[in-house]
Amino acid sequence: MLNVVFYFQVHQPYRLRHINLLDIGHSNELFDTKLNSFVMKKVAEKCYLPTNKLLLELIRKHEGRFKIAYSITGTAIEQFKLYSPEVLDSFKELAATGCVEFIGETYYHSLAFLYDTNEFLDQVAMHRKLMVDEFGYHTETFRNTELIYQDRLSDIVFEIEGFKTIITEGVDRILNWRSPLYAYKNYSKDINLLLKYYKLSDDIAFRFSNRDWPEFPLTVDKFVNWVDHLTLDEKKGRNQFLNLFMDYETFGEHQWAETGIFDFMYHFPEEVLKRPHLGFATPKETTHLANYQQESLSFPEAVSWADEQRDLSAWLENDMQKNAIETMYELLFRVKQKGDEKLLKIARMLTTSDHFYYMFTKYFQDGDVHKYFSPYDSPDQAYIYYINALADLEERLS
Amino acid sequence: MKILMYSWEFPPLISGGLAMACYGMVKALLSQGIKIDLVLPTKEMVYFPLREESDADTMPAVFLDPIVQSRFIRKKFSTLQEKLDFIGISSHPESYFQLAEINEFLTVKADYWKSDTVTLEEHELWEEMTTHLQGDEDLMKKVQEFTVRAERFAAELSYDLIHVHDWLTYPAGMLAKKLSQKPLIVHIHATEFDRAGGPGDERIHKIEHAGMMYADLVIAVSQYTAQMIMSRYRIDTGRIRIVHNAFSMPDDAVYSKQRLFKGPTILFLGRITIQKGPDYFLEVAERVLKVHPSARFIMAGTGDMARKLLRRSAFLRLKNRFLFSGFLDRKQVERVLRASDIYMLPSVSEPFGIAPLEAMAYGITAIISKQSGVAEVVNHAFKIDYWDVDLMADTINHLIEHPEQCKKMGTEGKHEVNRIQWDEAANKIRAHYSALLADFLRQTGGQN
């Protein structure tokens, strides 16, 4: 049996205003309310609302056989409430079907794991509480920001009561000859690991509308045939998991409605469910579906799902990114010591990984993607505004 | 006395200190009764007949073409900016005028220099200028165009002397002198050695040299610059005069402190180019921040080194303690000055440098490089070799640790710079005009 495991990442950062030097010290609003509201409303209309509606319809239609998982960041949920409350309502409707798993992560979609373990734990706890408060859901699966993972993460997450699975990228240099279609264990065999099948995930997320791609156009038939072929290698009856992980904004935002992405998604489940050896599962279900001794995998170095390198370079490659993030965590620590809740909230909004992504300078291969997502003219500008924001926050503190 | 003046910059056509220096100088000269026909790199063929002090602000314009001129006079402009737009002055120096055909430049102009009256020396200087005023760069083309157009002004206007500012206008000045036989004054605000922070462009040296050699008088903005033109350009000392620049503050300036940061604030304000030594400022910041981590350094301005320094400040992990302002307009400059305690300009080579005087007018303690002309006119400022980053860092540390001394130095500096006035500089220039004109009339026997 091969189970298709869909997991969608739902995230919106608080984008910073263009904060100039002379804006510092006036306690001005640091975040670009107008832009954030605009983006949220636009993405709600193009992606969240139509996609939620579609998936709700599919769940109802297939009566429990079609399942999905979401990871929704705290900053996204806050902005739903501020700018587009109907989106949150539609997620609650999905939660009520019982066919949706919610995944735990850091509330602020931060890189705290790499810099500040206490902050990481705080943000994970905040997010967990948010999932209970909003959806009545107790998270059992964890994903770190941008699927960043290394052995140490599993140690920390294992210590948190209730997490049994972590999902991350199926990186070739870790897997080598192994297949990402099986559930693994972390290096200490304590926790279940699911690995993104990046080829087929990216066929949908990145290549779907690419006319230069030899497989264009991607039809449901073609895709399900590829999926079907994956089962041929398994001859011992072991359950396989095809982990299709992607940004939720793929639907309608990165791939516009005109590309046919919604049609594709509409017909995909029925085509899968037509075949008796194919089905759907959510990440947490894989722990008891894994009917074999799970091999352990060690990740000595951090991996992620970003860019070709699948490492940390998208956020932590150049000196601007490093100086910015180091300064921020130092400041965050001081804000915590002062115990000013209002400033702590702002500081945490600055922990969101997107801020560092905007400062990425390798504009040659993957830069296009970065540029597409950046609200600033250049990485240098993004850096200047961010550093100014940190200076402003510090002046408010002292 | 009437002067034909060519300049590349003049407010509102500003790209740097040259515009402000010309403005202050022209205004003071006008107040002393000198008449000036000013020619700028405008899109239209206009000149500015400046007769009264207020003309430096209102900029009355005359078109050489009488038909256009009559149209211009009939036209009603509601603002000065509207009028300047019509003439074709923009505040962006890169868009002065459309590039016209300049192929004829060498052939047509060369005729003037082939007549019997041309001496061998004169011919060589002309060759030096024309053979080096070549290149495909935007700037070279603009200077060529400016020179071609300068001819009509030189031929159609009447004047006693020609006064030109910096190499961009030297070819125009040379042409004007050749046409009119009037004495030529070249004013050195900066040489290519200063701007480049090194040898720079050979062609520009040659044009500078030709201009200075052909001139009857060379005015340098400082002793520092005079030394430079004697040693690097081999100009006869007898023809060099030193007139220090001055500066004047706008009437609506506000001087009171208004902090951005609670900690000590150290400011670099100028173009972020190699000439101004911004990289030394960064090295000093790194040293000071090790001792005083609560200090903040502001790098204000724009320039071709900004990106490099931004990256380096991140590499040095200067946290949120080394900040960049980007481009600042007049009012924003004032706000950043009001927020600062210490001003630092570690210029590698600075013929004069008005910016430190401006900072001092705000009561800010200034640290300036010994390699700057402004060091000759102020006492209440720290003068340190631009490369001596340790001493500069020690000085800043000392000032941070002794804020009362910093304040005292700032106050004394403020009093000192308030006494530096353009009137004094204009007096000297007027005296040089008179002497030069008297000489000239004596030589020509009043024939001209």
Residue B254 inside a domain? The answer is no
Using an 8 Å CB-CB cutoff, list chain A residues near B328.
22
| Residues of A whose CB is below 8 A from B303 | none
Domain-terminating residue out of A273, A289, A305: A289
pLDDT of residue B198: 80
Q: What count of Cα atoms within 13 Å lies in the side-chain half-sphere of residue B427?
A: 6
Domain end (from A246, A273, A289): A289
Contacts of B320 in chain A (CB under 8 A): 327, 331, 387-388, 390-391, 394
Residue with tokens 């030193």: B242
CA distance B279 to A9: 44
Residue from B320, B322, B329, B330 to probe the interface with A (highest A Cβ count within 10 Å): B320
Interchain CB distance below 8 Å, A21 and B324 = yes
Instruction: Flag if A394 and B320 touch (Cβ within 8 Å).
Output: yes
Residues B169, B222, single domain; the answer is yes
Query: A387, B320: Cβ pair inside 8 Å?
Result: yes
B242 and B307 co-located in one domain: no
Residue A308 lies in a domain: no
For residue B325, the chain A residues in CB contact (below 8 A) are 20-22
Tell me whether residues B307 and A398 touch, CB distance under 8 A.
no
Whether A193 and A127 share a structural domain: yes
List, as one string, the DSSP characters of A263-294.
HHHHHHHHHHHTSTTEEE--GGGHHHH--SPP
Find chain B residues with C-beta within 8 A of A331's C-beta: 320
Structural domain includes residue B258: no
Q: How far does the CA of residue B320 sit from the closest CA of chain A (Å)?
A: 5
Of A318, A326, A398, the CB nearest to B317: A326
In this structure, the answer to whether residues B364 and B428 fall within a common structural domain is no
Q: With both helix axes pointing from N to C terminus, report the angle between B306-315 and A319-338 in degrees, rounded to the nearest 10.
A: 50
Give SS3 for A88. Answer: helix
What pLDDT does residue B250 have? 80
Query: Does any domain span residue A384?
Result: yes
Q: What total of structural domains would you count in chain A?
A: 2
Per DSSP, the three-state class of B409 is helix
With respect to residue B259, please indicate whether it lies within any of the assigned structural domains.
no
Q: Distance from A395 to chain B by nearest Cα, in Å? A: 7
CA distance A108 to A122: 10
Find the CB nearest A387 among B323, B326, B335: B323
Q: Distance (Å, rounded) from C-alpha B345 to C-alpha B359?
A: 10
Instruction: Give per-residue pLDDT as tens, B247-274.
Output: 888 888 999 999 999 999 999 998 899 9
- Quote the domain boundaries for residue A375: 313-397
**Could you tell me the mean pLDDT of each successive run of 10 residues in chain B, 448 residues long?**
95 77 95 96 91 92 90 85 77 38 48 70 85 81 87 94 96 93 96 86 93 97 95 93 90 92 96 94 98 97 93 98 92 95 95 92 96 95 98 98 97 95 95 96 75
Size of interface A-B (CB pairs under 8 A): 69
CB burial string B322-351: b at 16+ within 10 A, e below: bbbbbebeeebbbbbbbbbbbbbbbbbbbb
- Residues of A with catalytic function: 146
B140, part of any domain: yes
Q: For residue B253, is it within any domain?
A: no
Window 296-355 of B: residues touching A by CB (8 A cutoff) are 296, 298, 300, 307, 310-311, 313-315, 317-320, 323-326, 328, 332, 335-336
Same domain, B346 and B199: no
In a domain, A302, yes or no: no
ipTM above 0.90, yes or no: yes
Is the same domain home to B237 and B296?
Answer: no
Are both B54 and B188 inside the same structural domain?
yes
Say which CATH number the domain at A276 has. 3.20.110.20
Task: Give the pLDDT score at A370.
Answer: 61
Residues B304 and B437 in one domain: no
Position B96 scores a pLDDT of 34
CB A162 within 8 A of CB A102: no
- Are A31 and A84 part of one and the same domain? yes
B255 within domain boundaries: no
Do A21 and B326 lie within an 8 Å CB cutoff?
Answer: yes
Looking at the fold, whether A272 and A349 belong to one and the same domain comes out as no
Give, for all 398 residues of chain A, the pLDDT tens digit.
Answer: 999 999 999 999 999 999 999 999 887 899 999 999 999 999 999 999 999 999 999 999 999 999 999 999 999 999 999 999 999 999 999 999 999 999 999 999 999 999 999 999 999 999 999 999 999 999 999 999 999 999 999 999 999 999 999 999 999 999 999 999 999 999 999 999 999 999 999 999 999 999 999 999 999 999 999 999 999 989 899 999 999 999 999 999 999 999 999 999 999 999 999 999 999 999 999 999 999 999 999 999 999 998 888 999 999 999 999 999 999 999 999 999 999 999 999 999 999 999 999 999 875 445 566 666 778 888 999 999 999 999 999 999 97
The DSSP secondary structure of B24-82, one letter per residue, reads: HHHHHHHHTT-EEEEE---SSSEEEEE-STTHHHH---EESSHHHHHHHHHS--SSHHH
Nearest chain A CA: its distance from B278 CA (Å): 17
Ramachandran angles phi, psi of B304, nearest 5°: -70, -10
Q: Do B296 and B402 reside in the same domain of the chain?
A: yes
- Is B319–A330 a contact, with Cβ atoms under 8 angstroms apart? yes
Please indicate, yes or no, whether residues A246 and A335 belong to a single structural domain of this protein.
no
- Residues in chain A whose Cβ is within 8 Å of chain B: 20-22, 24-25, 318-320, 322-324, 326-327, 330-331, 380, 383-384, 387-388, 390-391, 394-395, 398
Chain centroid to Cα B58, Å, comes to 21
Contact of B442 with chain A, judged by CB distance below 8 Å, is answered with: no
Q: Is position A393 within any domain?
A: yes
Strand pairing class (A240-247; A2-10): parallel
Q: How close, in Å, is residue A304 to chain B by CA atoms? A: 24
Domain containing B392 equals 265-418
User: Considering only CB atoms, which chain B residues are within 8 Å of A327?
Assistant: 319-320
Task: Give the chain B residue nearest A320 (alpha carbons).
Answer: B314
Chain B residue whose CA is closest to A359: B311
Res B120: pLDDT: 83
Q: Is residue B256 part of a domain?
A: no
Query: Residue A108: inside a domain, yes or no?
Result: yes
Q: Are B440 and B358 within one domain?
A: no
- Round the CA-based radius of gyration of chain A to a whole number and report it: 21
Report the distance separating Cα B253 and Cα B360, nearest Å. Answer: 13
In this complex, do B261 and A319 lie within 8 Å of one another by their Cβ atoms?
no
Q: Are residues B208 and B287 in the same domain?
A: no
How many domains would you assign to chain B? 2
CA distance A353 to A366: 17
Closest CA to B417 of B220, B188, B245: B245
Cis geometry, peptide bond prior to residue B12 (ω within 30 degrees of 0):
yes
Q: What is the CATH number of the domain that holds B226?
A: 3.40.50.2000
- For residue A368, the model assigns a pLDDT of 62
CA distance A108 to chain B (A): 22
The reply to whether B259 touches chain A by the CB within 8 Å rule is yes
- Which residue matches tokens 């100014």? A388
Do B428 and B411 belong together in one domain?
Answer: no
Task: Indicate the residue of B259, B311, B320 with minimum beta-carbon distance to A319.
Answer: B311
B-chain residue closest to A378, CA distance: B307
What local confidence, expressed as pLDDT, does residue B111 receive? 64
* Dihedrals phi, psi of A195, to nearest 5 degrees: -115, 135
How many CA atoms lie less than 13 Å away from B47 in the CB half-sphere? 26
Answer yes or no: do A229 and A332 share one domain.
no
Q: Is the peptide bond before A217 cis (omega within 30 degrees of 0)?
A: yes
- Residue B260 in domain: no
CA distance A190 to chain B (A): 39
User: B58 at the A interface (CB within 8 A)?
Assistant: no
**Ramachandran quadrant class, A67 (left: phi over 0; alpha: psi -120 to 50; beta: rest):** beta
The answer to whether the CB of A143 falls within 8 A of the CB of A164 is no
CA distances from B448 to A261, B69, B152, B160 (A): 86, 29, 19, 9
- The per-residue pLDDT for range A102-151, each reduced to its tens digit, is 999 999 999 999 999 999 999 999 999 999 999 999 999 999 999 999 99
CA A172 to chain centre: 20
Quick one: B269 and B400 in the same domain?
A: yes
Both A284 and A389 in one domain: the answer is no
Contact predicate B374/B352, CB 8 Å: yes
Q: What is the DSSP string of B353-391?
A: -SHHHHHHHTT-EEEEETTBGGGGT-SSSEEE-TT-HHH
User: Would A304 be classed as within a structural domain?
Assistant: no
Residues 6 or more apart from B49 whose CB is under 8 A from it? B35, B36, B37, B55, B60, B62
Specify the residue for token string 């409430």: A81
Q: Is residue A29 part of a domain?
A: yes
The b-or-e profile of B62-100 (16+ CB within 10 A means b, else e) is: bbeeeeeeeebeeeeeeeeeebbebbbbbeebeebbeee
Distances (CA, A) of B362 to B257, B286, B355, B411: 8, 26, 11, 9
Q: Are B191 and B232 in contact (CB under 8 A)?
A: yes
Say if A341 falls within a structural domain.
Answer: yes
- Closest approach of A186 to chain B, Cα-based (Å): 35
Who's near A218: CB < 8 A, 6+ residues apart?
A203, A204, A207, A208, A264
